[in-house]
Structure 1
């Protein structure tokens, strides 16, 4: 997994309505469709809807960067001044995510194979 922006996740209040809107926008049915996450993979770009996003502190879309070493990258971001919003959390087979906030309040997500 190379370091790159791979996913954008949107917090949503009404998952069914948002799923219908994004299906119309993207012109395809979702690849992942669960009560806790709906997602598409379009030309290598992942787009997701998180119905718990606002409860988790998301205030808008969050870009996720694929990283090789999630723990090391998280530590480097904290050392550079970021604050951790979400510690590494498993979200699927072999996949963990974490989020940080930079000094300007921007949220950045990290995706990696382990914590």
Structure 2
């Protein structure tokens, strides 16, 4: 069911500053550089910067776990007590994401 941690998305207010910080930290240029998302690939993971993250309720970085069946996994997590935050949606190229909140308010993302 879980294929491992795939992506971590950081909500950022200053996209330009955050982009430079992560370019320096990771030692690579972003593969995606859009006004709505900047993405880096490093060490087998994706590190994303979302300038609209705070407006979406993100209070800190959100880990996105790779799952084989995102709809089933989302339903199982909700049945286990998680609060749905974002239903399954296509973010391009057939990539599906969703997120839930645990009992402590931590966001957990799913990608499939």
Partner of 2:16: 16
**Structure 1 Cα separation of the partners of residues 28 and 5 of structure 2:** 21
The CA deviation string for residues 47-85 of structure 1, in whole angstroms up to 9 with x for no partner, is 000011001000000000011111000000000000011
Alignment partner, residue 53 of structure 1: 53
For 1:97 and 1:56, how far apart are their aligned partners in 2? 14
SS at match of 1:87: strand
> Counterparts of 1:30 and 1:100 in 2: how far apart (Å)?
27
Question: Tell me, which stretches of 5 or more residues in structure 1 are unaligned?
Answer: none
Structure 2-normalised TM-score?
0.95
- In the alignment, structure 2 segments of 5+ residues that lack a partner are none
* CA RMSD of superposed structures (Å): 1.2
TM-score, length basis structure 1: 0.93
The answer (yes or no) to whether the contact 2:11–2:51 under 8 Å persists in 1 is: yes
